[in-house]
Chains A and B, each alone.
Chain A
Amino acid sequence: MKDSIRWIIHITCGGILIVLLGLHMGAMHLPDIFKFFYPLPEGSDPVQWSAVISRAKDVTTYALYMIFLPVALYHGLYGLWNVIAEALSSRKLDKIVGWVIVLAGIALYIYGAYTTTVSFINKGM
């Protein structure tokens, strides 16, 4: 893939993250302000089990997480690769680091998507 294409994907993901991560951060850390997006019962915490599992079972939230995860991983790991590549003095090493990051990204995506899906479909929870 050309560098220019990778860069366009990177900034597109950045634009998507401003919205998605903004809503996620707001709902988790500033729940009183973001109750228009994610209403919580009075006095409850967004990370208590009942709230966590009600989000996990919600089909809209599940779909958002499944978009959010690859977008965040691509944007973050591509940025990380750029930072590391700049500090390296060998193009061969750049490529090796790049592939390690790609494999790490795929592994993180599989794990994240698996736990999100298990929480969504598991009726015992």
Chain B
Amino acid sequence: MNSKMEVAKKIKGRDAHLGIIGWFYAGRYWLERYAYIVHRITGLAMILYLVLHIFVVGERAKGQEAWNAMMSKIQSPLFEFLEFLLLVAFIVHALNGLRLILIELGFFVGKPSRPKYPYRTSISKQRPLVYLIMLVGAFFIVVSIYEFFKLGGGQ
């Protein structure tokens, strides 16, 4: 079998992808690709949390005793830190998701043009949006650290 046929067979069988390793290989896509990797990891963390959350919160239907027993199990410094990580995951996922929705709707990609050589890329139009969400995200994370860990005092 010649090499072209082998490649065609792999693509048809979907063996040509890089698999999970491909998540961590940004190649020349750089920042947007890393944003995509972080988006996936935070998304997976949140769906796992949502499933657990439905069962934990469901305890309230069993009454006060069951609720307090559940809270005593999960109110520890470790769980509090995990909840903080969840909050950070939400901030990152939501802001990057907003960026993806804007791009999906055709914002920040420039005007469409015919594919004439030398080809134009929309990276220069998209990149400022990535920097903007990184700045806004950093601001929200700093505010969250301050408030979550009560750095300004209070209970």
Among listed B24-32, B38-46, B119-127, B128-136, interface-contacting one: B38-46
A14 to chain B, nearest CB (A): 5
**Chain A residue, CB-CB nearest to B19:** A87
Q: How large is the interface on B (under 10, 10 to 19, 20 to 34, 35 or more residues)?
A: 35 or more
Q: Is the CB of B50 within 8 A of A30?
A: no
Q: Which residues of B contact A22 (CB under 8 A)?
A: 90, 94
**Chain A residue, CB-CB nearest to B57:** A115
Q: Mark B3-19, 1 if CB is under 8 A from A, else 0.
A: 00000000001110101
Is A53 interfacial (CB-CB < 8 Å)? yes
A97 to chain B, nearest CB (A): 14
Q: Is the CB of A89 within 8 A of B101?
A: no
Q: How many residues of chain A are within 8 Å of chain B by beta carbon?
A: 41
Q: Mark A43-73, 1 if CB is under 8 A from B, else 0.
A: 1000101001100100000000000010011
Given contacts A32-B147, A76-B46, A111-B54, contact A87 B13 (CB under 8 A): no
Secondary structure type dominating chain B contacts: helix
A111 to chain B, nearest CB (A): 6
Most buried by B among A29, A87, A90: A29
Secondary structure type dominating chain A contacts: helix
New contact pairs (15) apart from A30-B147, A32-B154, A53-B64, CB-CB < 8 Å = A14-B97, A22-B90, A29-B148, A49-B67, A52-B67, A76-B47, A79-B43, A88-B14, A108-B54, A111-B54, A112-B57, A115-B57, A115-B60, A119-B60, A122-B61
Chain B residues packing against A (C-beta within 8 Å)? 13-15, 17, 19-20, 40, 43-44, 46-47, 50-51, 54-55, 57-58, 60-61, 63-64, 67-68, 71, 75, 83-84, 87, 90, 94, 97-98, 100-101, 104, 143-144, 147-148, 154-155
